């Protein structure tokens, strides 16, 4: 009888020790730092994601600069309204692009007025060359409207190429913010291209007054 009691007591002691050990392991797992839990569910980003987000900062920065010229270059009220929308919308997106890069420890390109002097490159489609920028800066009134719309259509089309390149890259565009920005760029700039084409078609023939 005493042996049975002794064996029962030993079994209870072993069970309690095992239970405490399991609870300790469970508590330790719950207290693990966030990075041990797959970075809170954030999808890993790719080099193509970084290239797109960085490139779009420079692309947007140039659009903001030239759209900002409209009031001082005698642009029509319609072109000025369009330019204002471009400035506000793309400045907002630049802030998101910069924050995404900062949060991931990636380099952030400057998005100031000096960005518009950057020469266009094969990996930055639609960027205006220094010669095109100088020509636009020298235009006034209806000539500015025509050239602005023509160049901004090409600039927007370049952004669509950048989106296509992103989604064509292996594993890219899976990050939620990258996907949303790319989708918004494609939708917004496609819509604006259509609007600018209509505005351009409504202008009087080149060389004639309004």
Residue 156's closest CA among 192, 113, 203, 182? 192
Q: 56, 159 in Cβ contact below 8 A?
A: yes
> What does the chain come to in residues?
210
| Within-domain flag for 40 | no
Same domain, 95 and 124: yes
Shared domain check, 68 and 17: no
Which of 209, 207, 164, 154 is closest to 185 using CA atoms?
A: 164
- What is the number of alpha carbons within 13 Å of residue 13 lying toward its C-beta? 6
**What's the domain count of the chain?**
2
Tell me, what CATH number does 133's domain have?
Answer: 1.20.1260.10
Domain assignment present for 106? yes
Name the residue range of residue 97's domain: 46-202
Do 20 and 108 belong together in one domain?
no
With beta carbons less than 8 A apart as the criterion, state whether 93 and 52 touch: no
Q: What string of pLDDT tens digits covers the 210 residues of the chain? A: 444 434 444 444 443 444 444 444 444 444 444 333 334 556 789 999 999 999 999 999 999 999 999 999 999 999 999 999 999 999 999 999 999 999 999 999 986 655 444 544 545 899 999 999 999 999 999 999 999 999 999 999 999 999 999 999 999 999 999 999 999 999 999 999 999 999 999 998 776 555
- Which pLDDT score is estimated for 110? 81
Same domain? For 103 and 171 the reply is yes
Spatial distance between the Cα atoms of 35 and 48, rounded to a whole number of angstroms: 23
Q: 193 with 163: CB under 8 angstroms?
A: no
H runs (alpha helix) in the chain? 2-30, 47-67, 77-103, 130-138, 141-168, 176-202
């Amino acid at each position: 009888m005493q042996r049975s009691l002794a064996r029962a007591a030993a079994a209870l002691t072993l069970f309690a020790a095992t239970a405490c050990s399991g609870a300790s392991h469970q508590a330790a797992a719950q207290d693990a730092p966030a990075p041990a839990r797959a970075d809170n569910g954030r999808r890993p980003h790719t080099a193509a994601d970084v290239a797109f987000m960085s490139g779009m900062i420079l692309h947007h920065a140039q659009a903001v600069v030239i759209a900002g010229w409209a009031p001082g270059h005698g642009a029509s009220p319609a072109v000025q309204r369009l330019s204002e929308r471009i400035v506000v919308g793309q400045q907002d997106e630049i802030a998101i692009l910069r924050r995404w890069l900062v949060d991931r420890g990636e380099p952030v390109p400057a998005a100031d007025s000096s960005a518009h002097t950057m020469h266009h490159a094969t990996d930055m489609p639609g960027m205006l060359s220094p010669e095109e920028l100088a020509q636009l800066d020298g235009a006034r009134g209806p000539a500015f409207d025509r050239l602005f719309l023509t160049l901004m259509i090409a600039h927007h089309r370049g952004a669509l190429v950048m989106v296509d390149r992103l989604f064509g890259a292996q594993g890219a565009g899976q990050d939620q913010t990258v996907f949303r920005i790319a989708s918004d760029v494609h939708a917004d700039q496609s819509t604006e291209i259509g609007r600018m084409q209509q505005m351009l078609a409504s202008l009087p023939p080149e060389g004639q007054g309004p």
